[in-house]
Structures are given as C-alpha cells and as structure tokens.
C-alpha cells in the first residue's frame, strides 16, 4: 500500500515547465492522502491563468498511478489560500537564489 510520502516522492518528479523547481518545493501541493487505493491531492497553481493547468495534473496522475496500491489519483485544484513565493520550500529558494529576507517580506507572517 502506498503512503502519502510515496505520493510526495512521485510529485517531486513533476516540474512546472516555467520554473525549474518541482511542484512540491514550489509550494503548489497543499495536501496528500491515500485512501482506499486512491491518491487524493489538493493543490494550487501559481495563477488561475496558468498555461499548464491541464498538463501538470495529468502528469501527476500518471506518476502517482504507477505506485503499488494506487488505482486512481484525484487532483483538486484550489485557489484559496492563494499561492505566493512565501510557499516555496527552503530547497526551492536555494535553487532560485532567494534569501530568507525575501520570504519574510512575501509571507503573511
């Protein structure tokens, strides 16, 4: 049976073609659950007009459906909370050359 961490591992192989960071480190994934052989993913996009709005979820589904114990993947795209650079992980920030001061300015902290 696949776990949520197994799903996250697969999602780390999916990239936004416009930004050289995987969708997990980019902060697009809000929640992952595995229930009854189904991967349930709640995510957002960098904008509501994202040109990859169809492609990214399709790639996610294909990757997650290869996991043992996952028969189907459902991707729920939400826009609340709104994505912002403050959601980028520490690893993603390093890749982009962003420092912690920029994170604090971007966040709601």
Q: Quick one: average pLDDT of 94-101?
A: 80
* Per-residue model confidence as pLDDT tens digits over 38-63: 999 999 999 889 888 889 999 999 99
The answer, yes or no, to whether residue 103 has pLDDT greater than 50, is no
pLDDT of 101 higher than 90: no
Q: Considering the entire predicted model, what is its pTM?
A: 0.87
Structural domains of the chain, ranges and CATH numbers in brackets: 4-106 (3.30.300.130)
Radius of gyration of the chain from its Cα atoms, rounded to whole angstroms:
14
Residue 18 confidence (pLDDT): 83
């Amino acid at each position: 049976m696949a776990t949520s961490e197994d799903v996250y591992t697969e999602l780390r192989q999916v990239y936004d073609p416009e930004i050289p960071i995987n969708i997990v480190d980019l902060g697009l994934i809000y929640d992952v659950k595995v229930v009854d052989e189904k991967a349930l993913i709640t995510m957002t996009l960098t904008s509501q007009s994202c040109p990859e709005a169809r492609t990214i979820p399709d790639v996610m589904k294909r990757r997650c459906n290869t996991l043992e114990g996952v028969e189907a993947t459902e991707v729920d795209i939400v826009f609340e909370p709104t994505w912002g650079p403050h959601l980028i992980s520490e690893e993603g920030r390093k890749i982009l050359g962003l420092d912690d001061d920029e994170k604090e300015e971007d966040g709601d902290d």
